[in-house]
Amino acid sequence: MAKNTIKVRAKIKGGKCIVKTLIKHPMETGLRKDKKTGKKIPAHYIKEVICEHNGEKVCVANWGVAVSKNPYLSFRFSGASKGDQIKISWVDNKGDSDSKTATIS
């Protein structure tokens, strides 16, 4: 399991919870060539990101290789309060994963 790859900020503003998350991940397309060996660097990308509020999925992202390296994601939802928990988890095409829980401020 990967560790400490997720940064997340969740804030209540105007009655909504605004979530911004940044994940550290190479998001390799599989099209790039290693300059030294000339061989293609294998695709390595996050496939799914699950965002949960109090255990309920509020956003599920399906990503392909076209999402940028160190992907950024922001979304908004209602029905949250300051102090609630938000959890971001990801799984990539190699089966690696990580997750992070943060408190909504």
Partner 1 sequence: MNLARREVLKLGVTGAALATLPIGTLFPARSAHAAYPENAFKEKEVTKALQDLFGTDQTASGDVKIKAPDIAENGAVVPITVSTGMSGVESITILVEKNPSPLAAHFELSPRTDGYVSTRIKMGKTSPVIAVVKANGKLYSASKTVKVTIGGCGG
Q: Catalog residues that contact partner 1 under the rule CB under 8 A.
A: 16, 29, 31-33, 47-48, 50, 55-69, 71-79
| Minimum CB–partner distance for residue 81 and partner 1 (Å) | 13
CB 104 within 8 A of CB 85: yes
Indicate the residue among 4 and 68 with the shorter CB distance to partner 1: 68
Most distant CA atoms of the chain, gap in Å: 53
Indicate the residue among 51 and 98 with the shorter CB distance to partner 1: 51
Indicate the residue among 3 and 56 with the shorter CB distance to partner 1: 56
- Give the bridge partners for 48, in sequence order: 62, 91
| Minimum CB–partner distance for residue 86 and partner 1 (Å) | 12
| Minimum CB–partner distance for residue 1 and partner 1 (Å) | 19
Written as six digits, the tokens of 68 are 């940028």
What is the number of other CB atoms lying within 10 angstroms of the CB of residue 72? 11
Indicate the residue among 1 and 38 with the shorter CB distance to partner 1: 38
3-class secondary-structure state, position 9: strand
3-class secondary-structure state, position 3: coil
